[in-house]
Amino acid sequence: MEVIIRDSAEEVSVLGAKIVARLVRRKPRCVLGLATGRTPLRLYLELIRLYAAGELDFSGVETFNLDEYVGLPPGHPQSYHFYMRENFFRHVNIPARLTHIPDGCSADLRRHCLDYETAIKEAGGIDLQLLGIGSNGHIGFNEPTGSLNSRTWIKILSEKTLKDNAALFPTPEEQPRHVISMGIGTILEAGHCVVLACGAQKSSAVKAMIEGPVSSMCPASALQLHPRATVIADSAAAARLDHSEHYRWIEQHKLDWQKYE
């Protein structure tokens, strides 16, 4: 696992955007796995800036989002369809037909999950999967104790995740308890997994992901088994790491072709 520590959340997002941009330039018809939430917002702003400056072309890019709430229509302000449209898609030139987000209002959720997996395979697989990490170690919406070989499916949100996201909904009754999410097994098939982690509230999960055992109690720890997983954390999120100086040493001594900036 590649661990990169930066001083601020801003630096984390900008570096993440550089990694995405480098792939888009090298492989214009790449497949991106995208994430939502507070952490990736600044990354999307940086990608939009690069596009507006004429430095990136997304016209051949295909995207698959990690997850969506069950029961929220695409126009709902807390749906991930709405999030992606307002925060990224409408600002760049990715063709709408090449953007894929799970349909939480599908009449047959189980069939839809299977079809989503098929669509990823038919696209040639995901080249780069963008990830955040929950304070309980979830990636996507794969909660603790779930299978580390799971596929896209209907997941039940934990009480911890519901509490963490409660402020996004007017009342507890309006907050969905179920989501469609790519599984850990699906995520691990991406060519490159890039995790962004910011804030002290993520520090325990970041430590468990990087330095703890591979365990379903911290789903993100499965990334230790991935051949190319990059974690970019700000100093607050990295505060509990025992070997932060080692990670900094490794980054300082990379060969030129291994560097992102």
Active site residues: 67, 136, 138, 143
Residue 131's H or E segment, with its range, is strand 128-131
The Cβ of residue 14 has, within 10 Å, a number of other Cβ atoms equal to 18
Q: Around Cβ 125, how many Cβ atoms within 10 Å? A: 14
Phi, psi of 178 (to 5 degrees): -125, 150
**Pairing of the two strands 67-69 and 99-100:** unpaired
**Exposed, middle or buried by CB within 10 Å (0-12, 13-18, 19+), for 66?**
buried
CA distance 227 to 114: 25
> Which of 141, 149, 131, 116 is CA-nearest to residue 195?
131
The structure tokens listed for 61 are: 């890019």
Would you say 46 and 17 are in contact if contact means Cβ atoms under 8 Å apart? yes
Q: What is the DSSP letter of 190?
A: S
Cβ atoms of 190 and 128 closer than 8 Å: yes
Q: How far apart are CA 215 and CA 217, in angstroms?
A: 5
